[in-house]
Structure formats: structure tokens, C-alpha cells
Amino acid sequence: MKSKIALAFDNCKKEKRPALITYTVAGDNTKNNSLKILNKISKHADILELGFAHNTPIADGGQIQGSSHRALKNGIKLKDVFQIVKKFKKNNLKKPIILMGYFNLIFQNGENNFLKNCKSSGVDGLIIVDLPYPENKSFANKCKKKSINFIQLLSPTTSKERMKKIIKDSHDMVYYISMLSTTGGKLKVSPKKILENYNFIKRINPKKNYVIGFGITDKTISSLKSADGLVVGSLLCKTITNSLKMRQNPVTMLDKVVYNLKKKII
């Protein structure tokens, strides 16, 4: 049976557009609001990434650090994250959800226990920032056995040899980090160059779905739309920060921003 993630990509290919993948942090700015946000933006987004906050997020820039900080201040725990997914899935069974975070939370929760919770709440995939290949092999296999996508990361510094191995061991989706940066950096490489790298990777195994992330905003998204999927995160976290500053409702603000992103890639 095809995974919901693979089906989402199939669907976008039929519509001749990239998948829009959003990233928000569970519990930002409140547990309730983050669920409302998912419900709203799922009308425009094809795949939803949901961050589980860690207080030492070494791969994240200021925007996502800020969101994580707000979520942790609200007392967000893993069990709340699973609750949010479960509630979301009640009304949106087909929409794929990917949890994204750092390995220590999984390690303390227990790998098997964590995957059990993923399964029962309806999580479709995982991105674990600080669990690189090949150290992630055993955990990625466990995910596969449970039909949960383990999403591998590639970057501009990944050698071709290494890329081949990583892609061979990947599941339905592979994440290409557009440039040397943390999340939230300004796009410092031209879209042309990014797509050059992207196409090179795509040729290694054209059957996989490759998404590009890091530095993608409403200004840059349309120039990359030939990719299988595009991930937008920091812009959304920043939108929440700004709406709180201006005392606006972050749910409606995010809805607008994601709608606008979608318009730019169809």
C-alpha cells in the first residue's frame, strides 16, 4: 500500500505543481492554536511538518528558536504533540503529518515507545535533525517496519558517493537542504544553482520524491517550483511572532500566508 506521503506527491504531480510543505511548532503559540493552525493551513498545504520543541536546537536559526521557546514556555510535552496530531487526524485522515525534531527526545521516550505513539496518533513521517546517516540506519529500519517514513537529509556538502547510499536507504521522501545554513537563513545561493544541484540528485533515483527546504519564503518559492516539493518553515514561525507583536490572531494570519504561498506555485 502506498503511504499517504507518496500519495500526496502523486496528487501534486497530477496537478503539475510541487507539494507545499509547511513547518510549524507544536504548542506555538498555544497548544490549541497550533491545532487550529494545522486545521486551517491543511486546506492549502499538501504535507504538514510539526516540530516537537527541544531547548538546544543546534540546527535552527532565530525564528524557529523563538517558536520552540514559546512552545516550551507553554509546557509542551511529547504527549501533547501526539494529542495535537491525533485531534488533527480525526478530521483530516488523509493529510500526511511529519514530526520534526531532535533525537534526544525520542531517545528518552524510548525508540519503540515513541514509534508506538506515532502509530496510534497517526504520524506519517519523521525528520530527525541530529541523527545522520549511517547512524540512523537502525532507527530508520524500525520506522519502515511500522510504515512510518524516515526522511533522510542531503545538503550541498554531501558527496555523490554518500548521496547514492543515503538515497538507496531512503523511503518515499528525501529532503535537500538548499544551502549551507541553519533554518531561517536568507537564500544566499541562486535558485538556478539550487535547481542544478537538485536535478543532479533527482537523476540518482528519479522515482523518489525530493523536497527543497531552507531559505524558502513567499519571495523565493515560485523560482523553485520545478521541485517535487518545497518546505516553508521560518516564514511561518516569523508570522506567528509578528502577529503576537501586533496583537493579531496568529491562526488567521498563518492561513493567509500559506494561501499566498500556494498561489505562487500553482
Partner 1 sequence: MLEGPVFDRLWGIPGAGYAGKMLSMAAKKFGLKCKIFMGAKDIKRQRPNVEAMRKNGAEIVPVTTGSQTLVDAVSECMRYWVSNCDTTHMCVGSTVGPNIFIKICAWSTAQISRELMKQVKEEFGKVPDKLKLINCVGGGSSAAGFWNEFLNTRAQFIGVEAGGPKKSKLHAAPLTNGSKIGILHGAAQYVIQDKEGQIGSTESISAGLDYPGISPLHCFLKDAKRARYTSASDEEALYAYQLVSKLENISPSLEPSHAFAEAIKLAPKLKSSEVIIVNSCGDSLKDKDIIKQKLGSYIR
Which residues are marked as active site? Answer: 49, 60
Considering only residues 11, 32, 108, 120, which one is a binding residue for partner 1 as defined by CB under 8 A? 108
134 binds partner 1 (CB under 8 A): no
Considering only the stretches 18-26, 72-80, 91-99, 253-261, report the one whose residues sit in contact with partner 1 under the rule CB under 8 A.
Answer: 72-80
- How far is residue 126 CA from its own chain's centroid? 8
Considering only the stretches 18-26, 100-108, 142-150, 248-256, report the one whose residues sit in contact with partner 1 under the rule CB under 8 A.
Answer: 100-108
**Residue 236 φ/ψ region, left for φ over 0, alpha for ψ in the -120 to 50 degree band, beta for the rest:** alpha
149 binds partner 1 (CB under 8 A): no
99 binds partner 1 (CB under 8 A): no
Residues 152-191 that bind partner 1 (CB under 8 A): 157, 180-182, 185
Quick one: cell of 45? 498545504
Considering only the stretches 1-9, 25-33, 54-62, 197-205, report the one whose residues sit in contact with partner 1 under the rule CB under 8 A.
Answer: 54-62
Residues 197-256 that bind partner 1 (CB under 8 A): none
Nearer CB in complex with partner 1: 41/84:
84
29 binds partner 1 (CB under 8 A): no
56 binds partner 1 (CB under 8 A): yes
73 binds partner 1 (CB under 8 A): no
Cβ–Cβ under 8 Å, residues 6 and 148: no
Considering only residues 9, 82, 102, 133, which one is a binding residue for partner 1 as defined by CB under 8 A? 102
What is the binding site for partner 1 (CB under 8 A)?
54-61, 65, 72, 77-78, 102-109, 130, 157, 180-182, 185
